[in-house]
Structures are given as structure tokens and as C-alpha cells.
Amino acid sequence: MSFSPSNTSRLRRHAIAVAIAVLMPFAAANAADEHYVKDGAAVGGYDVVAYHTVGKPTQGSNQYAAKYQGVMWHFASAANRDLFVASPAKYAPAYGGWCSAGASKGKKVVTKPELWAVVDGQLYLNSSEAAHTKLFLADTQTVIRKGESNWKQIYATEADKL
């Protein structure tokens, strides 16, 4: 094959088409697919800062809302909203708010706000009492390690049907 200007141009177009085909699934991932969104807000409208500051699940309000990664987040106060806006990665839950134990098994599962833990400054949520106590709390570091590894593949997939 010769590399005339027309062939080089054709090869360049082919390379671009291949790159688009390979990268398109990643670009197509919707921010709402990555985050657990219920009733129009991340984490079902719970204030993710409150887990850190008051140590319990606290329902947020759309009066104190902020947008992050294309999703609305609700907070119980303007102060919590401002803390989040200043450092969202510090407060956003692992795995987009999906179940930590589920992520360790390669699945996206809806969480319950009362099943949570903050480990090394990171918020982790779980879906059931068994997932929280028998998996996450029983072997926290393994669940986190497996969840981190799996999340790279499952973040843009649909949630598992319960």
C-alpha cells in the first residue's frame, strides 16, 4: 500500500472512526447512570455532608441544593451545601452512592441511607442489613478493594433489579 495524500487521509479518517467506536461507550455514560438518583437527587436526597458532620443520615432539602457531575445533591443546611461545593469529592459517597457490598460483587444495587460507614474519610453506603454487617463490616478493606476494582467496569451499567 502506498502512502499518498489520499491514502493517508483515508487512514486518518479510519483511525478516528475506530477511536470513536472504542471510546463511545465511555462518553455515552450518563452522569445519572453513575450516581444513585432517587426523586431527582443523588443518594435519594440525603445530605452526604451530614454523615461526616453529625454522624447520621439526614434528609436534605431542595432549598439547599447543588449540582455536581450533572446530578442534583440536597443538603440539610446552607453550611453543608457550601462544604460540599468547596470539596465535593471529599463528601460524595463511594461508587456513586450505590451499595459498597454490591460493587464488590460487580453489581449496582440501590442503597438504604441508614446502612452507612465513613472509612478513612470516605462515605460508603449499603443496600441491606446483611450486605452491611456480613459483608462490608465483616471485611471492610476487602469489600473496598474489590469495589474499587469493579467500579471501573460497572459505573455506567444499569442498576440491578431488586
Count of alpha carbons within 13 angstroms of residue 131, beta-carbon side = 25
Of 114, 98, 97, 116, which Cα lies nearest the Cα of 106? 98
Please give the pLDDT value at position 81.
98
For 122, the grid coordinates are 470516605
Q: First vs last Cα of the chain: how many Å apart?
A: 56
Which pLDDT tens digit goes with each residue over 116-147? Answer: 999 999 999 999 999 999 999 999 999 999 99
Rg of the chain taking only CA atoms, in angstroms: 20
Q: Give the DSSP letter of residue 43.
A: G
Which pLDDT tens digit goes with each residue over 80-91? Answer: 999 999 999 999
In whole angstroms, what is the distance from residue 20 CA to residue 23 CA? 5
Identify residue 8 by its one-letter amino acid code. Answer: T
In whole angstroms, what is the distance from residue 37 CA to residue 98 CA? 9
pTM for the complete prediction? 0.78
* Average pLDDT of the chain, as a whole number: 83
Please give the pLDDT value at position 152.
87
Identify residue 141 by its one-letter amino acid code. Answer: Q
